[in-house]
Chain A
Amino acid sequence: MCAIDSRSPWKLGVLFSDTGPTAIIERSQKCGVLLAIHEINAAGGVAGRMVEPVLCDPGSVPSEYGRMAEKLIVEDHVRVLIGCYKSSARKEVLPVVERRNALFFYPTLYEGFEYSPNVIYGGACPNQNSVPLASYLLENYGNRFYFVGSDYIYPRESNRVMRNILRQGGGEVLGEVYLPFDGGPEMFGPVLADIAEKKPDVIFSTVVGEMTVAFYRAYHAAGHDALKVPIASLTTNEAEIGRIGAEAAAGNITAAPYFRSIGGEANRRFLENYERQFGKEIMATSCAEAAYFQTRMFAAALSKVGRLDTDLLRECLLGSTWDAPQGQVKIDPDNNHTYLHSRIARVDSHGEFIVQREVVRAVKPDPYLVTPDLNDRRLRLRKTAKS
């Protein structure tokens, strides 16, 4: 494929869906990977060899991720993979990469309580984002919460954590609803009516994927004012806000390690290159950023190790740091998760996330923490210049 070197390229299996309910976000994650590979190859590849993505489309069907991971490893001889958004998809890939001793990068926030020696986790676990979000909401909006989520594992566990944190701050949960992935837009009706009746101060949403767009629009259309009673989320990102539209999105809140509106040289370069590659259509999101820096960290480790060997790569990756667009990140050698930044942003009238608060330094991941502490000093927020 490339004339620079006659030797074969390094293969990286990429497991993100182009179709199905979680395609919006997974497409942006795939772009993060492809951008990183583009930059790596433009700089001469790794040890003179290009990095080649091996792409496939699991169509947002969990079992397909497992089947395709197996195929990538067995038929395409891939040793390192990156991919998955939903936990149910990751759970399908996990036994495959463990059995085949492949290395798997998972660039998505999730509910924690997992460790596999074959996985490097690049997204936030609940201790990194839930506490900052809860303390910001309690301080600025009130203590009466309403939970709405998609019906799968991540929302239920996120809500358990959030409920525990809120209890410490005197918060109250007025309702907790889970919506099926195959439900039509009419399923929002009863929920929105209940919200109108109970009048919470904040909606905590763990609705994910395509459903997010429909839910935010329905909330706005039902006459709710997000500037007064916002929908707060750990997952809703730039790509989804773009689809929701500025009018319905304004005022809503998300906590994440990365927003594209943050400053910094690394982020400026990332956004410039991202836009040059993919145009303005597919927006950079925190999950895309995680996919990007994980791919860059993989390539950096590969250049040190010189071969696609899971055990050597893991040794090299654990404890390593990277100047990611969000700021410096580090892979925690204790648990294979990543020290990440934590930011709270509100959508402005132009549909752009503006960071309101951020933690001072990257937060250590603690995937097995049952109940995060609302008053944890390490999670203290500071105001940002733009807020």
Chain B
Amino acid sequence: MPDIISNLRSLNVLVLHPRDSDADDLIQQLNRIGCNVEALWLLPENLPPMVDIVFVEVKESIPPALAKLFSHRPDQRPTLIGLIGYENPSVLGCILELGVQAVISKPLRAFGVLSSMMMARHAWQERIEAAQNEEKLRQKLEHVHIITEAKFILMRHHGINEKDAYRVIRSHAMSRRSSTIEIANAIINADGLLSKLVVEKKDGRE
């Protein structure tokens, strides 16, 4: 991920931490690294726009005002790095609950901030890529279902095998310049409509 390293200076970083020497040291180190840094000593109503990384103090409970700053959707939340002064199970629980990608311990040392940012950014990017892949796979699975259903309809009506059914869908898609999924959906809709129209006749015959 060399891009993460070379793009560090273009990141917008927000520090959510009470004003103290740890916060000062962190902000100075972020300035040395060369990021655009903004610090808020009190929790804001909303996150400022275009924030890439948020350093946030994590204590033994998460105030509701803090929790509501971050969306549950991975692509709509910034990279989070927790700053902790304690390592007890309450604090550890809050780290997990808030879903931070890296942790920095206090008292803060300048050494390590850069690596934490890197790893957090890396984990965040991987999470987003994973979410995007999940979405792609979900859609693909749905498409497979739809095409299978359309194929069965054609097989039933025309007495053809699965391979030929698919060929019919594909050639229709090509001649109409649309996708196989659109044709498949059209077949399913038409079949639903038709089967409703002929239901009584069929019933009568059987």
Question: Which residues of A approach B to under 8 Å, CB–CB?
Answer: 98, 113-117, 334-335, 366-371
Contact = CB atoms under 8 A, between A and B. Distances in A.
14 contacts: A98-B109, A113-B114, A114-B111, A115-B29, A115-B110, A116-B110, A334-B31, A334-B32, A335-B32, A367-B32, A368-B33, A369-B34, A370-B8, A371-B6
B169 to A, nearest CB: 50
A335 B25 CA distance: 11
B8 A117 contact: no
Contacts of A117: 110
B65 interface: no
B32 A370 contact: no
B77 interface: no
A198 B33 CA distance: 38
A36 B109 CA distance: 33
Interface in B1-55: 5-6, 8-9, 28-29, 31-34
B114 A368 contact: yes
A117 B109 CA distance: 9
Contacts of B5: 370
Interface of B: 5-6, 8-9, 28-29, 31-34, 109-111, 114
Given A370-B8, A370-B9, 18 more contacts: A98-B109, A113-B114, A114-B111, A115-B29, A115-B111, A116-B110, A116-B111, A117-B110, A334-B31, A334-B32, A335-B32, A367-B32, A368-B32, A368-B33, A368-B34, A369-B34, A370-B6, A371-B6
Contacts of B114: 113, 368
Contacts of A371: 6
Task: Among A117, A368, A371, find the residue whose CB has the most chain B CB atoms closer than 10 A.
Answer: A368
Contacts of A367: 32
A90 to B, nearest CB: 12
B6 A115 contact: no
A98 B108 CA distance: 13
Interface secondary structure of B, over-half rule? helix
Contacts of B110: 115-117
Contacts of B8: 370
Task: Among A98, A117, A366, A370, find the residue whose CB has the most chain B CB atoms closer than 10 A.
Answer: A370
Contacts of A116: 110-111
Contacts of A113: 114
Contacts of A334: 28, 31-32
A113 B5 CA distance: 12
A370 B110 CA distance: 17
Contacts of B32: 115, 334-335, 367-368
Contacts of B111: 114-116
B11 to A, nearest CB: 12
A153 B181 CA distance: 56
A33 B9 CA distance: 37
A116 B31 CA distance: 14
Contacts of A370: 5-6, 8-9
Contact of A366 (B6, B28, B34): B34
A106 to B, nearest CB: 15
A116 B114 CA distance: 13
Contacts of A366: 34
A364 B89 CA distance: 45
A367 B114 CA distance: 12
Contacts of B29: 115
A368 to B, nearest CB: 5
Nearest to A370: B6
Contacts of B9: 370
Contacts of A369: 34
A253 B109 CA distance: 39
Nearest to A367: B32
Contacts of B31: 334
Nearest to B110: A115
A368 B33 CA distance: 5
Nearest to A332: B32
A370 B111 CA distance: 16
Contacts of B109: 98
Task: Among B28, B32, B33, B110, find the residue whose CB has the most chain A CB atoms closer than 10 A.
Answer: B32
A88 to B, nearest CB: 16
B111 to A, nearest CB: 7
A370 B11 CA distance: 14
